[in-house]
């Protein structure tokens, strides 16, 4: 008895540590397929071995010692070793089972009435078991439905890659991708819910055509709604390229748009960010059948960064939004399981600061008047000294809490205040290069940008941000130094005053923007901005417009990550930039188009 107890303890230890080498000799000593608990799972040793990496010799030992019957016992979920091996292992394991039990075992239903073929379709490690089973059993096994109505095609679309889709097409044709399963969802719907990657969904959209994106499931949701809920910005941009921006306003379940679903996306923030950019801030206040807005849902499901984005987009009015039961955004934040405390704390602090803002603005205005007034000798303050670009050292300026003073943040980096060893304050943009390209492509892109900044340094125009220099920062970062502007973007100004600019202001700003663009485009060679929009146009305290954030960092990533990365903001891009060509060619006309879109934005507060 003591020896048997010691043996089981050793088996538990080997399984808990996933140590196939230590388990193998123990399997040869077992007298029965004993049930044990490992990591909360109570099932037989054979079941546990089915999930063990490199455990194929262990299952062979069990078959030899205990007989093939050890593979057919059922656990509490009604699954056998065969089902679990199909879920976790590759084709060699299927061959071992086939030699022991024959083909019939692969047709036996387990949990959810799923056969081994269904479970192999959910195997996220490899699709070799799925392919082997189909070739062994015939293509008819791919049409068998589980108790929810799903075939292996639906499950593979959710769990596996495009290689499985190509395999299905080769043996069944493309029609299999349109067959409805659970919730009347096709393979395209299920692929849209794959939160790990969107490669399968992209392949299906390419193969089946854009019409597949408009098919609704029984809840009225299209693949666009589901992709917004489970995937990132690349999938959103693909939808825009296929169907245009109007598809994001189509209602699905409970009258919710793609923006509502993106606000519930707990995997990616980028889908909501790009939809706000495309549809405009007002999309965050659209109500569903319960009166719930994307702003409410973001507070309940997303993190603090997303809530900050929502508040930045809608301004203080976001806290006045109520659903049909009178619940506010703050009420929804109460239900945020992961970020509740931080969100509520931030909301409280934000409201406190907003209440004290009018007094601060009055103080700043008085300070400004005092600074611009003549002194007692009748002299005005000295003009600002030019920035010395020959500094060799610099440090981030810190706030009262010892944190870096952040000025702004975009998709490609963050902007901070910095102090140089020439005792001058500047702005520094730190660009983070999290790209898929190798070191050589990253280095080449950085060198190209360093060269371009050296050209931009030569620009001398009152309506254009003064570039100082650029340099490498740490291993895969780039720092771009510019003058520090005292002012706000036109976008932020509109959000704070909660209304667009009047015609007089738009004329004044447009004249200054045109002057800057004329200067850029008449340089030899012409210099392009590539991202004209209100958030990239600053207004300083003297009423002078400054063009900022040239499409520098965006070009680095475009050269590295490929054709679905745009240099500009989607709804401000000229039609020719949506070409299917591999290389996107920008021209002065691209800036002019974006300028026209910017005028529209200034007059309406919405992108075109």
- Residues 206-230, mean pLDDT to the nearest whole number: 97
Burial of 452 (0-12, 13-18, 19+ CB in 10 A): middle
Strands 406-410 and 413-420 turn out to be antiparallel
CA 532 to chain centre: 23
HEC profile for 415-439? EEEEEECCCCEEEEEEEECCCCCCH
Among 316, 583, 553, residue whose Cα is nearest residue 449: 553
Reply yes or no on whether the pLDDT at 449 is more than 80. Answer: no
pLDDT at res. 374? 58
Per-residue pLDDT, 366: 57
What is the band of 560 on the pLDDT scale with cuts at 50, 70, 90? very low
Q: Give binding residues as ranges.
A: 429
d(CA 238, CA 209): 12
pLDDT at 551 over 70: no
pLDDT tens, position by position, 473-498 = 876 788 999 999 888 999 999 999 99
- How far is residue 330's CA from residue 347's CA, in Å, rounded to a whole number? 7
Binding positions for ATP: 429
Report d(CA 583, CA 566) in Å as an integer. 11
Domains in the chain and their CATH numbers?
A: 1-147 (1.25.40.20), 394-482 (3.30.200.20), 487-604 (1.10.510.10)
Average pLDDT, the chain: 88
Instruction: Tell me how far apart the alpha carbons of residues 386 and 332 are, in angstroms, rounded to a whole number.
Output: 50
Which structure tokens are listed for 46? Answer: 């054979």
Please compute the mean of the pLDDT values over residues 410-416 and round it to a whole number.
Answer: 77
Please give the Cα distance from 403 to 269 (Å, whole number): 24
Between CA 589 and CA 597, with CA 594 as vertex, the angle to 5 degrees is: 130
Residue with the two structure tokens 């300083």: 540
Instruction: Count CB atoms within 10 A of the CB of residue 352.
Output: 10
Lowest mean per-residue pLDDT among 168-177, 424-433, 503-512, 599-608: 424-433
Q: How confident is the model at residue 4 (pLDDT cuts 50, 70, 90)?
A: confident
517-525: Cβ within 8 A, 24+ apart:
517/547, 517/588, 517/591, 517/592, 517/595, 519/459, 519/461, 519/463, 519/464, 520/459, 520/464, 520/588, 520/591, 521/588, 521/591, 523/459
The span from the CA of 81 to the CA of 89, in Å, is: 11
What is the rounded average pLDDT of the residues 143-158?
A: 98
**Segment among 26-30, 34-38, 119-123, 482-486 with least mean pLDDT:** 482-486
Which pLDDT belongs to residue 441? 61
Tell me what pLDDT residue 81 has: 98
pLDDT of residue 357: 56
β-strand 537-540 against 487-489: which pairing, if any?
Answer: antiparallel
Longest dimension (CA), the chain: 106
pLDDT score for 527: 80
CA distance 466 to 387: 9
At 522 the pLDDT is 87
The CA dihedral of 169, 172, 174, 178, to the nearest 10 degrees, is -130
- Return the pLDDT at 559: 38
Res 433: pLDDT: 62
pLDDT for 218: 98
* pLDDT per residue as tens digits for the range 170-200: 999 999 999 999 999 999 999 999 998 899 9
What pLDDT is attached to residue 562? 39
Pairwise CA distance, residues 276 & 607, whole Å? 10
Q: How far apart are CA 94 and CA 50, in angstroms?
A: 11
Closest CA to 288 of 247, 252, 316: 252
Q: What are the start-end ranges of the H helices in 43-90? A: 45-50, 56-66, 81-88
CB 241 within 8 A of CB 274: no
Burial track 232-251 (b if 16+ CB lie within 10 A, e otherwise) = bbbbbbbbbebbebebbebb
Q: Is a pLDDT exceeding 50 seen at residue 289?
A: yes
* pLDDT exceeds 70 at position 379: no
Confidence of residue 264 (pLDDT cuts 50, 70, 90): very high
Query: Is a pLDDT exceeding 70 seen at residue 85?
Result: yes
Q: Does the pLDDT value for residue 70 go beyond 70?
A: yes
């Amino acid at each position: 008895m003591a020896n048997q107890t010691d043996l089981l303890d050793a088996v538990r230890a080997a399984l808990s540590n996933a140590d196939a080498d230590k388990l193998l000799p123990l399997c040869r000593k077992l007298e029965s397929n004993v049930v044990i608990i490992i990591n909360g799972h109570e099932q037989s040793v054979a079941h546990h071995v089915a999930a063990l990496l490199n455990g194929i010799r262990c299952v062979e030992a069990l078959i030899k010692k205990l007989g093939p019957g050890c593979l057919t016992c059922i656990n509490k979920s009604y699954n056998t070793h065969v089902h679990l091996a199909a879920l976790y292992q590759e084709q060699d394991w299927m061959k071992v089972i086939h030699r022991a039990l024959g083909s019939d075992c692969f047709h036996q239903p387990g949990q959810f009435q799923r056969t081994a073929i269904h479970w192999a379709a959910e195997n996220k490690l490899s699709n070799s078991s799925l392919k082997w089973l189909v070739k062994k059993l015939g293509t008819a096994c791919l049409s068998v439905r589980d108790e929810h109505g799903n075939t292996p095609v639906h499950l593979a679309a959710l769990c596996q890659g495009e290689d499985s889709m190509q395999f299905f097409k080769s043996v069944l044709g493309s029609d299999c991708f349109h067959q409805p399963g659970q919730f009347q969802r096709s393979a395209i719907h299920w692929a849209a819910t794959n939160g790990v990657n969107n490669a399968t969904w992209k392949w299906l959209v390419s193969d089946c055509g854009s019409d597949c994106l408009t098919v609704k499931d029984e809840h009225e949701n299209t693949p666009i709604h589901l992709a917004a809920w489970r995937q990132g910005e690349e999938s959103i941009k693909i939808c825009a390229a296929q169907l245009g921006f109007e598809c994001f306003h189509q209602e699905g379940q409970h009258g919710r748009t793609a923006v509502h679903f993106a606000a519930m996306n707990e995997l990616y923030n980028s889908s909501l960010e790009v939809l706000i950019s495309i549809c405009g801030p007002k999309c965050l206040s659209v109500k569903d059948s319960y009166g719930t807005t994307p702003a409410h849902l973001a507070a309940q499901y997303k993190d603090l960064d997303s809530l900050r984005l929502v508040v930045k987009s809608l301004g203080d009015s976001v806290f006045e939004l109520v659903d049909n039961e009178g619940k506010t955004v703050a009420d929804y934040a109460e239900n945020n399981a992961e970020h509740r405390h931080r969100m509520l704390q931030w909301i409280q602090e934000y409201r406190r600061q907003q209440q004290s803002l009018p007094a601060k603005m009055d103080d700043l205005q008085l300070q400004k008047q005092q600074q611009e007034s003549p002194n007692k000798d009748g002299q005005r303050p000295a003009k600002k000294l030019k920035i010395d670009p020959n500094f060799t050292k610099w440090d981030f300026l810190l706030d009262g809490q010892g944190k870096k003073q952040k000025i702004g943040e975009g998709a490609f980096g963050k902007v901070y205040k910095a102090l140089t060893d020439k005792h001058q304050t500047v702005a520094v943009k730190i660009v983070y290069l999290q790209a898929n390209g190798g070191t050589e492509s990253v280095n080449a892109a950085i060198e190209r940008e360093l060269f371009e900044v050296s050209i931009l340094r030569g620009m001398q125009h009152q309506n254009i941000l003064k570039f100082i220099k650029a340099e490498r920062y740490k291993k895969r970062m780039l720092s771009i130094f510019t003058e520090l502007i005292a002012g706000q973007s036109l976008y932020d100004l509109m959000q704070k005053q909660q209304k667009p600019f009047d015609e007089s202001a738009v004329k004044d700003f447009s004249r200054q923007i045109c002057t800057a663009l004329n200067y850029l485009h008449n340089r030899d060679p012409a210099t392009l901005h590539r991202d004209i929009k209100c958030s990239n146009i600053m207004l300083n305290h003297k009423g002078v417009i400054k063009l900022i954030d040239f499409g520098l960092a965006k070009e680095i990533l475009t050269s590295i990550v490929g054709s679905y990365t745009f240099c500009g903001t989607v709804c401000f891009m000229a039609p020719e930039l949506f070409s299917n060509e591999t290389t996107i060619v920008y021209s002065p006309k691209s800036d002019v188009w974006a300028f026209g879109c910017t005028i529209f934005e200034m007059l309406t507060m919405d992108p075109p």
